[in-house]
Amino acid sequence: MKTIVLVVSTLTLITIESQAQQASNAAPKSVSVAQGAVARWAGNCKRCSFEKRAWEAVNGTCYYPVDMEMKPGTYTISRRTTGGRLESAKLTVTEKPCVQEDIKDFAKKEYVNVSTENQTRHRKEMAVVEPLLTYKADVRPAVFDIPVGKPTNPLPKGQGNFGACRSFDGQPRDRHTGQDYEVSAGKPVLSVGNGRVLLAANHFFSGNSVYIDHGNGLISEYFHLKSYDVKPQQTVTKGQKIGVVGATGRTTGPHLHLGARWHGARINPGYLLIDPADMPEVK
């Protein structure tokens, strides 16, 4: 009887070792994400990291924003669970070719052949804006959830020009960093979430512009407004009117330009408006 017990115990041990070996040989968790998109890793997350950046999870989920010009390749991401366990996965960034957008016979010629004075003005404006948008290790906690609210009600389908490679009257210009929505002039523009106004000002290229900090490094941008109703440091709530649609700055006509920076990454804001279950997911 003792011999039989020994055999059974030995077989059990072998089976356990075999299962452990299979688990160790299993493919690591991974996700594939296009430039300008957002991946998620759901379930009991506390802290997330990507490259040299790290941040807190949002309602138990790690979100990994990928900049529109991040170099394609495979990167390591990680998360710390609420139980203290450290887990890693592979995130593969795929190239998303930019759509060419050629704007001809542009009426506002001062935005095509930009004067030295306006070039100087733009540089001064960006010296104020860019530090607000870069990644920071110490940020306020998130005061939003995904999906965020719509910036206009109703919100038409986006023009699909996020990341577009643009030219005006044949002259190449910087890529388009937001999503444009065909909304009539005078329509209310709404904050997509609770937050604090970082900046509300008139800028040369973006016209009347509002930047809102929603915590966790997420900043929403609203450009070309006819006017705005908020001021820096003001607290706003989700769905609050912050201005009205216009055509100020470099624009062919009235519309809303919605942009988003998350931990410094320029992302398609459309990813913030969808069900997170539809985002690329770590598996």
pLDDT band at 18; cut points 50, 70, 90: very low
Q: What is the average pLDDT across 32-39?
A: 98
pLDDT band at 3; cut points 50, 70, 90: very low
Tell me the CATH class for 100-278. Answer: mainly beta
Residues 105 and 100: their CA atoms lie apart, in Å, by: 16
Query: Quick one: which of 174, 162, 267, 257 has its CA closest to 219?
Result: 267
How far CA 137 is from CA of 52, 63, 86, in Å, comes to 10, 15, 19
Per-residue pLDDT tens for 188-236? 999 999 999 999 999 999 999 999 999 999 999 999 999 999 999 999 9
From first CA to last CA, the distance across the chain in angstroms is 46
What is the chain's length?
283
Per-residue pLDDT tens for 82-130? 999 999 999 999 999 998 999 999 999 999 999 999 999 999 999 999 9
Pairing assessment for the beta strands 61-65 and 53-56 based on DSSP bridges: unpaired
In DSSP notation, 230-249 reads --TT-EE-TT-EEEEEB--S
Per-residue pLDDT tens for 149-186? 999 999 999 999 999 999 999 999 999 999 999 999 99
Q: Where are the domains of the chain?
A: 27-94, 100-278
pLDDT, averaged across the chain? 92
pTM recorded for the entire structure = 0.90
CATH of 27-94, one of 2.60.40.1930, 3.40.1190.20, 3.40.50.20, 1.10.3720.10: 2.60.40.1930
Tell me what pLDDT residue 16 has.
39
Helix (H) or strand (E) holding 26: none
Q: To 10 degrees, the CA torsion angle through 174, 177, 178, 179? A: 70
Question: CB within 8 A of 152, min separation 6: which ones?
Answer: 181, 183, 187, 188, 189, 190, 245, 256
Tell me what pLDDT residue 26 has.
55
In DSSP notation, 108-175 reads -GGGTS--HHHHHHHHHHHHHHHHHHS--SS-PPP---SS---SSSS-PPP-S-TT-EEEETTEE-PP
Backbone φ/ψ region at 227: left (φ over 0), alpha (ψ -120 to 50), beta: beta
Please say if the pLDDT value at position 79 is more than 60.
Answer: yes
Q: Within 10 A of 166 (CB to CB), how many other CB atoms are there?
A: 18
pLDDT band at 28; cut points 50, 70, 90: confident
Up-side HSE of residue 165: CA atoms within 13 Å toward CB?
A: 8
Residues 254 and 256: their CA atoms lie apart, in Å, by: 7
Two domains, one topology: 27-94 and 100-278: no
Cis amide linkage into residue 131, ω under 30° from 0: no
Backbone φ/ψ region at 132: left (φ over 0), alpha (ψ -120 to 50), beta: alpha
Helix (H, G, I), strand (E, B) or coil at 91: strand
Per-residue pLDDT tens for 247-275? 999 999 999 999 999 999 999 999 999 99
